[in-house]
Amino acid sequence: MRRYNKPLWVSVFFLLSTVLACVTINIYFPAEEVETVAEDIVDDIRGQKPDGTQKNKQKDSSLQLLRLCLAPGTAWAADATQVSNPTIRGLKEQMKRRYQQMKPFYQQGKLVEKNDGFVDIKDMGGLGLKEKRDLKALVDAENNDRKALYREVAKAMEIDPSQVGRIGEIFAKEWQKSVR
């Protein structure tokens, strides 16, 4: 009968147990879906579509049809990117009305879209005291609504609330495109 070295055997057992006990948790962040939602929401709020968007939508529906034939689960998941609830619809309506007031300031270069998904005042030169106060109030209200919108999108898409910042960053690209 062969005798095993007890300390070596215990060490090997402990090492194997430790390796097997390690679990990697991957948090899935649906960036593509959020991009689609952001594009739709920003287009709806700003009331504009860049050239070629209609062609892209037709191409997208052809791709969805192909996905439906090949992998039904994928095609149905693509439809889930249409997020809406009463809060999101209300925020979008408020933001649409406010954008009409903010639009001249964008055109004058007074407002800038930041990379975190929020708007900021770039320049107040040439504005009177009342205009400055009104512009600041518009920006504050817009940023509050955007913060609420990003939280609601996260909730509707069942994304971890700690990822709201990433949602804002994705929306930022769409906001920036819409003011070019």
HEC string for the chain:
CCCCCHHHHHHHHHHHHHHHHCCCCCCCCCHHHHHHHHHHHHHHHHCCCCCCHHHHHHHHHHHHHHHHHHCHHHHHHHHCCCCCCHHHHHHHHHHHHHHHHHHHHHHCCCEEECCCCCEEECCCCCCCHHHHHHHHHHHHHHHHHHHHHHHHHHHHCCCCHHHHHHHHHHHHHHHHHHCC
Could you list the residue range(s) of the whole structural domain that residue 74 is in?
Answer: 54-81
Tell me the whole-structure pTM to 2 decimals.
0.69
Are both 125 and 163 inside the same structural domain? yes
Are both 112 and 126 inside the same structural domain? yes
Residue 9 counted as domain residue = no
- What integer is the mean pLDDT of 119-144? 94
Residue 107 counted as domain residue = yes
Are both 61 and 143 inside the same structural domain? no
Query: Which tens digits make up the pLDDT trace of 21-39?
Result: 766 555 678 889 999 999 9
In this prediction, residue 2 has a pLDDT band, given cuts at 50, 70 and 90, of low
For the chain, how many structural domains are there in total?
2
Residue 48 counted as domain residue = no
Query: Which tens digits make up the pLDDT trace of 45-84?
Result: 998 654 444 434 444 554 454 444 444 444 444 444 578 8
Q: Is the pLDDT of residue 118 over 90?
A: yes
